[in-house]
Amino acid sequence: MSQRLVTLSTRGFTLVELLVVIGIIGILVGLLLPAVQAARESGRRTGCVNHLKQLGLAIHNFESQHGRLPRAGTNGESYEDLSILHLGGKHSWIVLLLPFIEDQPLYDQFDLTKPANEQATNPQSPQLPQLMCASDDVEGREFEETDCPLCIGTMYAKGNYAA
């Protein structure tokens, strides 16, 4: 009797071939990842530039309506009072621009006759997306008043743009 040898012919990849393909894919992903990150950062930068443009337009609209530019902030009734930090409203320049950046409801919550730390609904504490640049991790950071004994515990939202 003659025995017949049966050979099995399998089609597939060897372990070495599979590792080479995985290595090549890894290199390609490694080359592509910085380009994707650069595109994301470019998009974030474009958003920041757009926020600055919107703030510039709001300042121009404020000037058109009031005949002057908004003050950087309010501490007292006159410019001489600016050196006394605990006088006046302590309202930021952005409060005056809220109606011009399409945030009239938040502006309506401010009582401009009262200091910022005595507002009934704490309208100074929410962060506005228009004031945050996506490239920075400012979201969630706040400023707590510590200089004024009557103001301790008052929280103020932070943003990326200042005047």
Q: What global pTM score does this model have?
A: 0.65
Q: Quick check: 45 pLDDT over 90? A: no
Q: Quick check: 63 pLDDT over 70? A: yes
Task: Return the ∠ at Cα 136 (arms to 133 and 140), rounded to 5°.
Answer: 90
User: Which residues have C-beta within 8 Å of that of residue 107, sequence separation ≥ 6?
Assistant: 95, 98, 99
Q: Quick check: 6 pLDDT over 60? A: no
Q: What pLDDT, on a 0 to 100 scale, did the predictor assign at position 57?
A: 94
Strand 155-157, strand 142-144: pairing: antiparallel
Phi, psi (degrees; rounded to nearest 5) at 105 = -60, -40
Residue 79 pLDDT class (50, 70, 90 cuts): very low
Q: What is the mean pLDDT of residues 122-139?
A: 78
pLDDT, tens digit, 9 for 90 and up, residues 85-98? 445 567 788 888 89
Which neighbouring-strand residues pair with 142?
A: 157
